[in-house]
Amino acid sequence: MSTAQLLADDPVWLILVKVVGIFAFLVVMTLFMINWERKVVARMQQRPGPNRVGPNGWLQSLADGLKLAFKEDIRPVLADKWVFFLAPVISCIPAFVAFSVIPLGGKVTIFGQETALQLVDLPVGVLVVLACSSLGVYGIVLSGWASGSPYPLLGALRSAAQVISYEIAMGLSIVAVVMSSHSLSTADIVSTQSGTIAWGALPAWNAILLPVSFVIYVISMVGETNRAPFDLPEAESELVGGFHTEYSSLKFALFFLAEYVNMVTVSALATTLFLGGWQLPFVGVDHFLNSGWWGLLWFVVKTLGFLFLFIWLRGTLPRLRYDQFMRLGWKFLVPLALFWFVAVAFTRYFNQERQADNVSTSLLLTVFGAVLAVVLLIAFLLPDKREHKDPNAVPITGGGYPVPPLDLQVPKSPPRRQVPVAQLPTAEDRTAEPAAVTASAKEAGDGNA
């Protein structure tokens, strides 16, 4: 029985329970994620992080959320009243809707009703997520425009360009996955990844079968969610706060919520598309560890792995410059994705033909060898790119580093001024300094432990 058939006879109350459940899951994940991010980043920067509100500081984000809700709601005079109000709502709704097609687990029984842990399984499930992310951009763009002030507008323009260009790379990377699983439905994509490959040594995850797609997807999902190192729409050092500069109170909180829900959604989609979804590898589909509510646990663990990656990147990498960022997207990721999915298509086609005994393996190898030889020949025949010489360039010796030339004439040093012996630092002064340094380093270490 397929997931779509399982879900088809869900009564209305069960659908409502699932909707509320997914909503609660996403909101709780957001609250957890904000705290986790602050704690992990703090740990990476050798400081304790939030540790005051609640047990070990884990209720900090809840307190912050409540505080935000009770703040004064300010609307700038120049703002466009309706669009200013609409923008955070638009950015929030698609983020939640996108999660409806994600399979959270396998077959379970809820109050005696047999169903799957998924709200809906569409034949075009993956497209729903893409459609929702393309609608989510409206929230950002409109917020920037409606604020009626320059920095948000700049942030919004950046964001629109960014999300649209990285959505192309993302879509192209998903194409290879769809080709290999013959379906756009998320539940089907999960079920095609259930076996093992390489004589049972590796799970048949798309991340292993289609590594290039996986890498492209992971890079573009960071770009898509406007997270560091791709957080150019809200670059603090350039744009104050970016598109949400003029927002305050609950509207600002909605933007925050949308950002984190989007992160959870793209991580969940990455789990679904590339890491076998809710299934535990190696044990087989019928094992009890893959039955009932266990799937939810594996799903959450895998998703949290991706979310940790988001935090790790933010704690590690500096922000890219805008042109570097665009170059990465258009000149590297998109061509690579195109090349990769054509290669996958060819491989699949010839594999089919070979299995049908229309083509022999030796013929295939010969043809591929010939193509490779032609490509190599062309590559060798192409003339080298001529180096551009700058006539005004300062001559540099050594391996590209600005070291002084070998024949440098060092001018004679001027006659030294006599310093009275009493003013020179004594040996005791010199040793006193390092001692102070070790003492402070020790203190810092204690603070962290």
Partner 1 sequence: MSAFLTFLAQPPEPVQRAVDTVTTGEAVAFWVLGPLALAGALGMLFARNAVHSALWLVLTMLSLGVLYMVQQAPFLGFVQIIVYTGAIMMLFLFVLMLVGRDSSDSVVEVLRGQRLAAIVLGVGFAGLVVGSLARALTDVQPVGLAQQNTQGGGNVANIGEALFTDYLFPFELTSALLITAAVGAMVLAFTSRVGKDAKKTQKELVEERFRGDRVGSLPGPGVFATANSVATPALLPDGSVAAESLSELIETTAKETLEDDVAEVSGTGHQADAHALKGEQS
- By the criterion CB under 8 A, which residues form the site for partner 1? 4-5, 7-8, 10, 12, 15-16, 19, 80, 83, 93, 97, 100-101, 119-124, 127-128, 130-131, 134-135, 137-138, 141-142, 144-145, 148, 150, 153, 156-157, 160-161, 164, 167, 182, 184
Whole-angstrom Cα distance, residue 210 to residue 119?
A: 28
How many residues are present in the chain?
Answer: 449
| CA 343 remoteness from chain centre | 25
Nearest approach in angstroms of CB 31 to partner 1 is 22
CA angle 309, 315, 318 (to 5 degrees): 110
Kindly tell me which of 5 and 51 has the beta carbon lying closer to partner 1: 5
* Residue number, 33 or 156, with CB nearest to partner 1: 156
CB of 302 to partner 1, least distance (A): 23
Nearer Cβ to partner 1 (150/445): 150
Residue type, position 283, single letter: V
Q: Given the structure tokens 């044990």, which residue do they identify?
A: 283
Closest among 54, 9, 10, 6 to 32, alpha carbons compared: 54
Q: Which helix (H) or strand (E) holds 108?
A: strand 107-110
91/326 Cα distance (integer angstroms)? 23
Nearer to partner 1, 390 or 429 (CB): 390
| Pairwise CA distance, residues 247 & 75, whole Å | 7
CB of 4 or CB of 313, closer to partner 1: 4
d(CA 196, CA 188): 16
**Of 53 and 83, CB closest to partner 1:** 83
- Nearer to partner 1 among residue 153 and residue 210 (C-beta): 153
445/449 Cα distance (integer angstroms): 6
Between 142 and 307, whose beta carbon lies closer to partner 1?
142
Shortest distance in whole angstroms from residue 251 CB to partner 1: 18
Residue closer to partner 1 by CB (options 134, 249) is: 134
**Cβ closer to partner 1: 179 or 296?**
179
Least separation in angstroms between residue 238's CB and partner 1 is 14
Q: What's the start-to-end Cα distance of the chain, in Å?
A: 54
Beta pairing class for 113-116 and 196-197: unpaired
User: Shortest gap between Cβ of 95 and partner 1 (angstroms)?
Assistant: 12
What is the maximum span of the chain, computed from C-alpha positions, in angstroms? 97
SS3 content of the chain, % helix, strand, coil (to 5): 65, 5, 30
Q: How far apart are CA 438 and CA 191, in angstroms?
A: 57
Structure tokens at 172: 């192209």
- Which residues face 202 on adjacent strands? 197
Nearest distance from C-beta of residue 119 to partner 1, angstroms: 6
What is the nearest approach in angstroms of partner 1 to the Cβ of residue 35?
Answer: 28
The least distance separating partner 1 from the CB of residue 360, rounded to whole angstroms, comes to 27
Shortest distance, position 148 Cβ to partner 1, whole Å: 7
With H, G, I as helix, E, B as strand and everything else as coil, classify residue 316. helix
| DSSP string for residues in 182-213 | T-S-HHHHHHTT-SEETTTTEE--HHHHSHHH
Question: Please, where are the H alpha helices in 249-381?
Answer: 249-274, 294-316, 322-327, 334-355, 361-381
Shortest Cβ 93–partner 1 spacing (Å): 8
Instruction: Provide, rounded to whole angstroms, the least separation between the CB of residue 114 and partner 1.
Output: 16
Query: Of the two residues 119 and 216, which places its CB atom closer to partner 1 in the complex?
Result: 119
What is the pairing mode between strands 196-197 and 202-203? antiparallel
